[in-house]
A and B are shown apart, each in its own frame.
Chain A
Amino acid sequence: MENAIEVKDLHIKYRGLKKMSIKQSLAKFKLNRIEVFEALKGVSFTVEKGKIMGIIGKNGSGKSTLLRAVAGIFAPDEGTVDLKGNTVSLMSIGAGFQTKLTGFENIILSGLLLGFTEEQIRKKVPAIIEFSELGDFIYKPVKTYSSGMYSKLSFSITAILETDIMLIDEVLSVGDIHFKEKSSKKMHEIIKDDSKTVMIVSHSMSTIKELCDEVLWLNDGVLMERGDTETVTNHYEDFMQKLGKK
């Protein structure tokens, strides 16, 4: 099988690039005291095309950072991320919409950023509008939306404009009970699709066990274990229990 994602020796550092005012930077003239926090310390792995990779680990272990690095939002400080030319999208809470613009325009803009042509997007727009259940609201500015409508639209865009690689950060369903069921069903459909490569970050072990072919376990930015779902989740749960007893 060919690989869809190849990550080699990935380091991500949060450098002392803190926001500061001019007064502060003049007061602390010694700029040498740069705090470096290493969120990922040399992680390497590959994901085969069509596989579903789960990522587990306690809070602050670098899971979301890893997803963002794969999505290209952070460039690696060291190491490489190779997506073999696949398109990629990241699904997470609070999608970036331009609130002054209409839902329709936001669909096109999001699609263009994901690497689709305008023609491809326009073909899929009716499906997105239908799935999001927004109706005529789609032609109103996003700032007039309720938070539920907002997340429905955001979900629909990513779910219908399927990219080759989908990165999912805890978002498997959104909205009210009815939409939750629908979106969760759609998500499972996409995830199970053999042509899609998926990476899921989740704290829900049942979700991971149900969906994933393989699991990565991250701890403090280091890859602890990678292997089949059953073994790794068991090791992780043992580890977390021990941590709880201490």
Chain B
Amino acid sequence: MFQRKIGKQIAILAVLIIFWASVQAMVGLGIINPYYELNLILIGINIILAVSLNLINGFNGQFSLGHAGFMAVGAYGAAIITLKTQLPFGLALLFGALLAGIFGILVGLPTLRLRGDYLAIATLGFGEIIRGVIVNIDYIGGAYGLSGIPKLTNWTLVFWLTVLTVIVIANFVNSTHGRATISIRENEIAAEAMGINTTKYKVMAFSIGSLFAGLAGGLHAHYFYTIQPGTFNFLKSFDILVMVVLGGQGSITGSIIAAVGLTILSAALQKLAALRLVIYALLLVIVMLFRPQGLMGTKEFSLKMFRRKTKDKEGKQHGTAIGQ
């Protein structure tokens, strides 16, 4: 129970490698055309965004609406490094992510005293301020944005960075530090009385979330040649929020499922343009009506779920195994 399950880890790694390699091969052979590849990369970026926002909104219970702002910081931070210096892409991504993480601390310290609606408005405001500031700095292209960013993001990088994000956040959540973070969502007064430094863990969750949003921003910037402040507006934050709420606040696998599903849906509905948002909104209303806790609630998807269910059934049939 309390040791590394090497066998399981190797199995997961093997599955990941097989998946990555088969997609890579299909791209090489032309079975996956550039349009599908674009969507695969968008899925990866959206998973990073959704899982990182889930840490703030779902696990820590702090309702943030400014995630796109941190994505913008990461996108611009990384793009400036590749455009203005000769440093390698990896360092550019790291710089963008760290810059976004630092912004997360700076924004988090004053705003995380607020609760509920007030925090939502404050983070929304900060997201817009970040965008407003970018519009007014000519060095980084102002309202026109930055263009001519080399296309350095590829499937391999997106895939493994997505895996890294999920592992880091899942490991954080499933530790004493993650439990401290979750206790703040459950009952802040009790958490504080039980010796949890609530400010520290709120700012920590917020900055880790921002850091990965910045990473997603860096990947985004280096795939689409050009970035504009308008890309990172409130609607983008809202998009990410929808994924988190739909998947279940407090479920990493829920966020992944929702990010994959919604990215595919929005690609499939591209032709319908205006109707897309209607269908999107309708879907959200339906899910909220029938499953207000989101697809997964706070549970995680795992193969054990099925195993336990079959076990329960067997137990009932034999009339034993009560309270197992």
A associates with B: no
- Which residues on B are within 8 Å of A, measured CB to CB? none
